Chain A
């Protein structure tokens, strides 16, 4: 009788404990939901969360489930740091970071704690494993993107003279990062650099800067800010009837810009690392099913892709045995041409080179929509790593 009771109890324990034994794999999500970058931080974070939902629904990790521990750090380094420490105590294996401020501040910590950090800060120096061994991004870095679009314009240039190029950017780490590499490459391609202007991230007016540039008549002008700055510049350029073709980086154009700048946004080019809701990709079909047909902002797609790549690495690490941050990193560095459902170009990382891809997508705003105009693939030059 006693044995029977024991067996029954054991069976019950196993029954109750059974589902719990399937591991929950935790990862941290640092989001800016209420701070200065929240307008783009909210859709990005939604992309991360929706990806987790999709992966768990489709049993991507088999019996394991992914759990996203999210903290809104309001783009404050101190809060990012304490959130990270909190994640660490809860046993995360990877981190989805957000902006430049938190990603750079945590570079050393994630390396010491061996927790791979996938972030949306695409500064080129984060792709050099010597500086940031545990940092990963899933789309081309800012400088590679700038080089890509410069090459695209140069290839399309038909006139005899050298194309004139100007730069508008905020005097801020984010605005300055890609300039050195971008300008050097522009000179190499044969552009004539005609001028630089500063427009602050919170600027309400850019007329004086644009008047100075108008005198120099650039054919192309880079806007290295965010959507609010881009909209101010484009509207003022329309007022001044400038003929220049404006092009922006990854954070300079999204669906909000089309609402903010209206007509003035027409004809603006942008270089994007990932695909958008207007592209026909397997990932987009899943996303549209998740959102009920509503097209989310471009940033959502990168949040989704970043989480998808991370999950794939976790899956590969699980297949090989113990799941640790180091195992995820090693899997990342062995990853070659992994296609995250077409949401970004195929991703590869190398032990000495964390540039995920050298491919950039070129989009143009036509009739209030982002229309894909081309794909630019650059050579993976060693001297460009981290610059």
Chain B
């Protein structure tokens, strides 16, 4: 814990607090205020990006719980989001209220995640990655062929979410809904990590044998990690499906799983804050590249076709550069920045 000078804790409870000290609390409150004001100042385009960021944050934090905290690599996360989207969509189409359907979709996804997490007791590392890849492929097949529930190749057309008579049919309303859900999920994940369950996850990640020797039930905890992570992924999927109001199998491919993994790596594996940074970074990257492309094409009209081709390459390049120069991700950069601010102007 890096606190200000003269910060002493008198109890473990104090030390484990999510926000330490008045400054952190004030900063967080200011951030919340800024976020709440966003719909009044931003246009629909910028707001839609923020909504996508909110949803990506939930998805990235969920994967970071599983992969970053518990060390169980998953290449099936995109499909788990899909399960959530389809489950939530199918439930609301049956007339289940959104407020019930969203957690229910999370539970259905959790059950699916646990099922595909069973091999994790015996498989580790690359082997588990392949097992979860199989989950991705199987689930994609189900999305496409279980016509009665998923609508097959045509997909499901959904209505905007409605809670207690209020319909979330505008970007402004959707922003508050996704922000609220993202906050709840973040608090849930943070609380989990400060509990004995969270410490058990980290113990399994660091060395499974030691964890087992100190009494961590490996199978139960690995399954729990899969369940919690999939629950959150399901919630993210449910939000995504209802925001788009159309669920088809195409977006939930391996590419989505990889991009969530990339969010965790770029943000910082094993850190909730890192997952948030990663989600923000990777959602903004294509938008920033598109904007740069527009500017670039205006300045060098002849080069626009090469710039377009370079766009896809930049994504890969960013990933490689992060792995080489900042394997701990944006989260460490943020820590260094905070340390720099604290010590400025005398770096002693």
A residues apposed to B, CB below 8 Å: 33-35, 71-72, 74, 76-79, 81-83, 85-86, 88-89, 100-101, 104-109, 112, 123, 125, 131, 171-174, 176-177
Contacts and interface: CB of A to CB of B under 8 A. Distances in A.
Contacts of B293: 72
B44 A77 contact: no
Given A34-B312, A77-B251, A108-B244, A88 B154 contact: no
B52 A78 contact: yes
B171 interface: yes
B287 interface: yes
Contact of B157 (A78, A101, A108): A108
A33 B293 CA distance: 12
A86 B308 contact: no
23 contacts: A34-B312, A77-B244, A77-B251, A78-B283, A81-B48, A82-B49, A82-B287, A85-B44, A89-B43, A101-B250, A101-B251, A105-B244, A105-B246, A105-B248, A106-B246, A108-B246, A109-B244, A109-B245, A112-B169, A125-B154, A172-B144, A173-B144, A173-B249
User: Secondary structure at chain A's binding surface: helix, strand, loop or mixed?
Assistant: helix
A89 B45 contact: yes
Contacts of A71: 290
B169 A82 contact: no
Interface in B94-117: none
Interface string B292-312: 010000000000010011011
A361 B293 CA distance: 38
A173 B311 contact: no
Interface string B237-281: 000000011101111000000000000000000000000000000
Given A33-B308, A34-B312, A177 B153 contact: yes
Which 10 residue pairs of A and B lie closest in terms of their CB atoms, listed nearest first? A173-B153, A108-B245, A85-B48, A86-B45, A85-B45, A176-B153, A77-B251, A89-B43, A101-B250, A33-B308
User: Secondary structure at chain B's binding surface: helix, strand, loop or mixed?
Assistant: helix
A35 B286 CA distance: 12
A81 B249 contact: no
A335 B309 CA distance: 39
A49 to B, nearest CB: 12
Nearest to B304: A33
Given A72-B290, A173-B155, 15 more contacts: A35-B312, A72-B293, A77-B244, A79-B286, A79-B287, A82-B52, A82-B287, A88-B45, A107-B246, A123-B154, A172-B144, A172-B153, A173-B152, A173-B154, A174-B153
Nearest to A108: B245
Contacts, number: 92
Nearest to A100: B250
Contacts of B290: 71-72, 79, 83
A72 B152 CA distance: 28
A85 B153 contact: no
A101 B248 contact: yes
B148 to A, nearest CB: 14
A86 B286 CA distance: 14
B123 to A, nearest CB: 26
Interface residues of B, number: 34
A334 to B, nearest CB: 26
A81 B311 CA distance: 18
A33 B286 CA distance: 14
Contacts of B248: 100-101, 104-105, 173
Nearest to A71: B290
B311 A74 contact: yes
B48 A77 contact: no
A72 B244 contact: no
Contact of B152 (A77, A81, A83, A176): A176
Nearest to B155: A104
Nearest to B143: A173
Contacts of B154: 123, 125, 173, 177
A360 to B, nearest CB: 21
A198 B157 CA distance: 27
Contacts of A174: 153
Contacts of A123: 154
A198 B246 CA distance: 26
B240 to A, nearest CB: 9
Contact of B144 (A88, A89, A107, A176): A176
A128 B148 CA distance: 20
Nearest to A125: B154
A136 to B, nearest CB: 17
A76 B286 CA distance: 10
Interface string B49-73: 1001000000000000000000000
B214 to A, nearest CB: 42
A82 B48 contact: yes
Contacts of A81: 48, 52, 244
Contacts of A85: 44-45, 47-49, 171
A210 B344 CA distance: 71
Contacts of A107: 157, 245-246
Given A108-B246, A177-B153, A34 B48 contact: no
Interface string B145-182: 00000001111011000000000010100000000000
A78 B308 contact: no
Contact of B308 (A34, A101, A106, A172): A34
A74 B290 CA distance: 10
Contacts of B312: 34-35, 74
A72 B311 contact: yes
A72 B246 contact: no
Contacts of B144: 171-173, 176
Nearest to A69: B294
Nearest to A177: B153
A212 B53 CA distance: 48
Nearest to B305: A33
Contacts of A82: 45, 48-49, 52, 287
Nearest to A88: B44
Which of B144, B152, B155, B246 has the largest number of chain A CB atoms within 10 A?
A: B246
Contacts of B287: 79, 82
